[in-house]
Structure 1
Amino acid sequence: MWGYLSLLPVLLAIWAIGGLWTVFSVAVANESVNLTRGFPYISLCGNYPPQSCIFSQVLNMGAALAAWICILRYHQLRDWGVGKWPNRLILWTGLLCALGTSIVGNFQEKNLRAIHLMGAFFAFFVGVLYFWLQLLFLWRMKHVPQPGAPWIGPLRLVLCSICTIFIVAMVVLHVWRMRSVSAALEWTAAMLLFILFGLFSVDFSSLEGCTLRLRPCSGGLSPPPASPIPLQVSL
């Protein structure tokens, strides 16, 4: 069972990347978007049915897989010795990224723009923060295991850097009304985030089992009664 967990991040990357480009293809095919007017944003492709239905399903399942991966990563970092509060901070940023992805899929831009943009903020900005926090704490903790080839760490650093630059540039170019270039950067940043999730397969390949830890209750348990309490029943 544990060997299959290493395939979970790859499954997320394939599902999300393939699903989003399927939404793009359907939107182009039924002329919901017009490529002659410029390259469309991801949200614009998922605005109208039938591709909006595919869009919601892809992002909802992607968010569920991402949340599961974040929880597994939390337990793995705990076992590697990452502190409780830094590890919880990493976990919650990852869960917010997953939540934002689900919000983007369920609240289309043309229906509820404010909520949609809030979800996009969680998905992109908090999502890339999730990976930066892991790079920071793992870099500071030299004793933490580094599964995989030596170039995996530098590759993550490069992908995080490029993704951050693209996300910031996406917002700036959108404000400058250079929408086609901004949309292309949005697609690229989304693909990079999914690839970063997919790289967790390298870390999960070392998982061999699950450990159950029991901790005593801080308040203590009340002592049992000295003798059984009789139950009186009227007949």
Structure 2
Amino acid sequence: MGGFPGAPPRTQGPLPCSFALAVSNKTVNLTEGFPYISLCGSFPPQSCIFSQFLNIGAAMVAWISVLRYVQFREWGIPKFPNRLCLGSGFLCALGASIVGNFQQTNELSMHLFGSFLAFVVGMAYFWTQLVLLRLAKPRAQPGAPWIEPLRLLLCGLCTALMVAMIVLHFWPRRSEAAVCEWSTAMLLFVLFGLLAVDFSDATGFAISLQSRPRSCPSGAAHLPSL
């Protein structure tokens, strides 16, 4: 099975859409404070849009994580840290799907667990990439020299906003915490978008499945794996 890598996920559109619908149908009241993302996506019809696009985004994040894993392998990144990075990408995708399917008004504990995976583990995914690229220094890495400092700046800013969001939530200064949450989500989308630079010189890739010959003993077959 072969194909082109494709573009990074573009799930930022439904979030403002959910916000606009929530304000227009008065399920959130801006006079009482700026709402969290989850509150905007808790009630229909915006909850339907919220869930659908987060599921699509989760599938795209998982696919991008696989592409990044294959790319890192080609760049000589060691197998264990590369798999660790892949696993964090999968967990981020799982978290996004959980957030979309378990609204906070229906199942708060699962929703918070999904938020942890999407935000915290998702942020760890990009920090891991930065560390691996810094240590390996692949010559084939595409993009302008300022891409890496930009990623570092965005990761630092995103982490700071995430910490501020948690602190402000328990202060409690919920409106300010919500602004930090929205900003963190947008920065994560930007970080995923920047991966288009890394995939810009990739024309495609192929995944092949090799069947074991009937005459070959079960332990003698060699099947390539990720």
Q: Distance in 2 between matches of 1:51 and 1:209?
A: 36
Q: In the alignment, which of 89, 92, 98 is matched to residue 84 of structure 2?
A: 89
Distance 1:72 1:143, change over 3 A: closer
Q: Distance in 2 between matches of 1:185 and 1:202?
A: 27
Q: Distance in 1 between matches of 2:80 and 2:208?
A: 18
Specify the SS of the correspondent of 1:78.
helix
The residue aligned with 2:52 is: 57
Answering whether residue 119 of structure 2 is matched by residue 124 of structure 1, we say yes
The residue aligned with 1:29 is: 24
Structure 2 counterpart of 1:77, one-letter code: F
User: In the TM superposition, what whole-angstrom CA distance separates every residue of 1:106-132 from its partner, at most 9, and x where no partner exists?
Assistant: 000011000000000000000000000
Task: Report the CA distance between 1:137 and its aligned residue.
Answer: 0.8
Q: Distance in 1 between matches of 2:118 and 2:82?
A: 19
Q: Distance in 2 between matches of 1:38 and 1:218?
A: 64
Task: Report the CA distance between 1:211 and its aligned residue.
Answer: 5.2
Task: Report the CA distance between 1:58 and its aligned residue.
Answer: 1.2
Q: Is the 8 A contact 1:96 1:122 kept in 2?
A: yes
Specify the SS of the correspondent of 1:132.
helix
Q: Gaps (5+ residues) in structure 2?
A: 222-226
Q: In the alignment, which of 14, 23, 27 is matched to residue 19 of structure 1?
A: 14
User: In the TM superposition, what whole-angstrom CA distance separates every residue of 1:86-114 from its partner, at most 9, and x where no partner exists?
Assistant: 10000000000000000000000011000
Task: Report the CA distance between 1:171 and its aligned residue.
Answer: 0.6
Q: Distance in 1 between matches of 2:207 and 2:42?
A: 45
Structure 1 counterpart of 2:95, one-letter code: G
Q: Is the 8 A contact 1:138 1:144 kept in 2?
A: no
Task: Report the CA distance between 1:220 and its aligned residue.
Answer: 1.8
Task: Report the CA distance between 1:210 and its aligned residue.
Answer: 2.1
Aligned residues: 215
The residue aligned with 1:80 is: 75
Q: Distance in 1 between matches of 2:93 and 2:207?
A: 26
The residue aligned with 2:93 is: 98
Q: Distance in 1 between matches of 2:35 and 2:207?
A: 48
Q: Is the 8 A contact 1:81 1:144 kept in 2?
A: no
The residue aligned with 1:220 is: 220
Q: Is the 8 A contact 2:18 2:41 kept in 1?
A: yes
Specify the SS of the correspondent of 2:13.
helix
Specify the SS of the correspondent of 1:149.
coil
Answering whether residue 61 of structure 2 is matched by residue 71 of structure 1, we say no
The residue aligned with 1:153 is: 148
Matches within 5 A, 1:201-212: 201-210=196-205
Answering whether residue 188 of structure 2 is matched by residue 193 of structure 1, we say yes
TM-score of the superposed pair, with normalisation by structure 1: 0.87
CA RMSD in angstroms comes to 1.9
Structure 2 counterpart of 1:43, one-letter code: S
Q: Distance in 1 between matches of 2:119 and 2:153?
A: 17
Q: Is the 8 A contact 2:94 2:117 kept in 1?
A: yes
Distance 1:211 1:80, change over 3 A: farther
Task: Report the CA distance between 1:141 and its aligned residue.
Answer: 1.1
Task: Report the CA distance between 1:214 and its aligned residue.
Answer: 8.1
Identity of aligned residues (%): 57
Task: Report the CA distance between 1:218 and its aligned residue.
Answer: 8.5
Q: Is the 8 A contact 2:22 2:46 kept in 1?
A: yes
